[in-house]
Structure 1
Amino acid sequence: MRERTMNLLKLNIVVLIEKYKKVTDVARELQLKQPTVTFHMKSLEEELGVPLFHSRKGRIVLTEAGRALYPYAQKMLSLHNEALRTMEEYKGMGRGTLRVGAEPAVQSLMMPVIADFLKRHPGIRIEVQVEPEQKLKALLMVEEIDAAIIEERAALELPLAFERWNEDEVVLICAADHPWVLLEELDPGQAGQERFVRHAPGSQLDRIGQAWADQHAINLWSPLTAASPEGVCRAVRAGAGVAFFSRKALAGNEANEGGGIRMLKVPGLEDPRLQLGAAYRKEGSPASLINEFVHFLRTCAQI
């Protein structure tokens, strides 16, 4: 079967012939020479195997087959123009979907920023996926998310770009009536004797807690694991144990309403700072959306 290449130029000629009824006017509209327009008209008729144009009293009109083709030509040209407009909107940040991953301990800090970004770009959609740090890094590498809000030290383990956005601090939390509250200073040995409520394996705070325990040769006793920061807070408040947490995340956690949880410095932790930001692939797609989001984080950085 012979290949048919009914391209947009030929379809446009069909539409313009119906409009002007003269090849010279069509050629002027398309900024082509008249013989070129005539060539494409004959070429289209040969491809489709039917006459499409008919000369009548000095005018060119569509045949019955041409009139049948005409509405399809209009629709295809309209779809083409709509597609071009849509792509221009993407280029100009008018449309698009951005997939952002967030660590559980970071999501409460991140949501107000995402809300502000959407106010600036109302045509953009953002899909937020809350997962532990290790899974977010894996999702980034296989391009299932476009950016991940994680801690800088974790991002540097992979060939990713990183934009700092916020700084937090790792703390220990306990119930308001816990004996630790009465201590002037806590040492690693004392801390190691407590029950710990563990964060989701692979999460940022779980990684930091395990590294701290390894540093001080402590075998953390963790009979309870909670998948979310809210779950960790509720367990700590109920007296199920103590936990590693971040200062800012605790301040915004609904589970701590009424102040039933106390914060303490982590003894023996060399650098309690958490440098939070967006990890992303520089060559990632959609590049314009990612770059705009990263730029927005830069403008509202809290470091």
Structure 2
Amino acid sequence: MNFIKLEVLVLISKYNKVTTVAEKLGIKQPTVTFHMKSLEKLLGITLFEVHGGYTVLTEPGEVLLHYANKILKLRDEAERATSEFSLLKRGSFKLGASYVPSTYLIPEVLKAMKKDYPRLEISVTSSPSSSIIQMVLDHELDAGIICSMEVHNPGIIYKKIYQDELGLVFSPNNPLVGCEVLEKQDLINKTFVHHSKVSSTRRLVEKWLEKNKVYFASIIQLDSLESIKHILMSTDWISIISKKAVEEEIKRGKLIYRELPEEPIERDIYVVYNKDRWLSPVMKKFFEAF
């Protein structure tokens, strides 16, 4: 199939230079101009204008751009899905995951998939759950693994694969180590290490803290879970972290995990995919891994 006219439109919107578009596509500049004029003739409307040496899209061009992006993403998805039927089982699979699943669940899944599809190219994108959902909706990802969100998108299929628990984590040198069962007052006026604001974990933690009226002497924010774990090891600070994320540190005696007082924080982890996505052999193999 020939999608080059739509590719020209998308690249013009990005670079605003015919010469740059020609370079990106590996074709000559007159060929790019031909496809621009051909697309305008086909639709009977002006899509491109030149202003100050830059080529820009007209308002109808911007409307077409919206659909061109969708069409090209669907094309890429279709190519990935159909490529799996070649005799050599080649192809690609694009997976997205929020931090905890990408670090602590995906490695075993990838090993299982590569066993049956050794020539399959697999890419993993790590982003917050909300970003993964949007990328799945936009057909930029074949599937995702996310931590639970309060509202499920109707355009997404959700399959629960794991229930995660969050608890209090601190160093073995922290005075709290002597408390097998924590009370709310044990947490008050401590230095607390928070997750980044885009983290779904942070939203759950903030909701729990507000409900239980737990306040800290000071709060430190770190963007990386690994950074949080390392700083807890060397201080008497505390944090609320996924139990799955600290399993190895607990085994090695580097960190201590305690259940939260009053009520636990539990969240589901889901495999997600676009409801319009065809379940290819690779997709089915992916689901079998859970």
Please confirm whether the aligned pair reaches a TM-score higher than 0.5, indicating the same fold. Answer: yes
Change in Cα spacing, 1:174 to 1:238, as seen in structure 2 (3 Å) is same
- Deviation per residue, 1:215-234 (Å, 9 max, x gap): 12344566322222211110
Give the RMSD, CA atoms, in angstroms: 2.8
In structure 2, how many angstroms separate the alpha carbons of the residues matched to 1:252 and 1:91?
Answer: 39
Shift of 1:141: 2.9
> Is this contact kept in 1: 2:187–2:214, CA < 8 A?
no
1:3 paired residue number: none
Query: Distance between the aligned counterparts of 1:291 and 1:155, measured in 2?
Result: 26
After TM superposition, give the deviation of residue 144 of structure 1 in Å: 2.4
- 1:158 is aligned to 153
- Report the counterpart of residue 50 of structure 2 in structure 1: none
- Residues 201 and 146 (structure 1 numbering): CA distance in 2 closer, same or farther, change over 3 Å? farther
Q: Which amino acid aligns with 1:162?
A: Y
Which residue, 121, 140, 143 being the options, matches 1:147? 143
**Secondary structure of the corresponding residue to residue 171 of structure 1:** strand
Aligned residue among 226, 229, 232 for 1:233: 229
Does the Cα contact within 8 Å between 1:134 and 1:203 map onto a contact in 2? Answer: no
Cα–Cα, structure 1 residues 161 and 213, in superposed 2: closer, same or farther, change >3 Å? same
Partner of 2:62: none
> Does structure 2 retain, via aligned residues, the 8 Å contact 1:155–1:279?
no
Measure the CA separation in 1 of the matches of 2:275 and 2:286.
11
- Runs of at least 4 residues off by over 6 Å: none
Matched, 1:262 2:256: yes
Percent pairwise identity: 20
CA drift of 1:87 comes to 7.9
Name the counterpart of 2:272: 279
Shift of 1:240: 5.8
Deviations 1:38-85 (A, max 9, x none): xxxxxxxxxxxxxxxxxxxxxxxxxxxxxxxxxxxxxxxxxxxxxxxx
Residues 96, 289 of structure 1: 8 Å contact kept: no
- Please name the residue that 2:92 is paired with: 97
Q: Which residue of 2 aligns with 1:124?
A: 120
Residues 173 and 236 in structure 2, CA contact (< 8 A), matched pair in contact too: no
Listed one character per residue, the Cα deviations across residues 184-228 of structure 1 (whole Å, up to 9, x for unaligned) are 421234324222211222223212211111212344566322222
The structure 2 residue matched to 1:295, chosen from 280, 287, 290, is: 287
Change (3 A) 1:155 1:209: closer
Structure 1: unaligned runs, 5 residues or longer: 1-85
Rg larger in 1 or in 2? 1
The 5 Å alignment of 1:184-195 reads: 184-195=180-191
Q: State TM-score, norm by structure 1.
A: 0.60
1:250 and 2:219 aligned: no
**3-state DSSP class of the match of 1:105?**
helix
Aligned to 2:64: none
Instruction: Write out per-residue CA displacement over residues 96-146 of structure 1, whole angstroms, 9 at most, x where no aligned residue.
Output: 222111221222222122122111111221111112223223323333222
Return closer, same or farther for 1:119/1:90 CA change in 2, 3 Å cut-off. same
Q: TM-score, normalising length from structure 2?
A: 0.63
* Counterpart for residue 8 of structure 1: none
Tell me, what secondary structure is at the counterpart of 1:208? helix
Which runs of no fewer than 5 residues in structure 2 stay unpaired? Answer: 1-79
| Structure-2 change in CA distance of 1:290 and 1:213 (3 Å) | farther
- Provide the C-alpha distance between the structure 2 equivalents of 1:137 and 1:101, rounded to a whole number of angstroms: 9
Kept in 1, the 8 Å contact 2:95–2:141? The answer is yes
How far apart, CA to CA, are the structure 1 residues paired with 2:99 and 2:284? 24
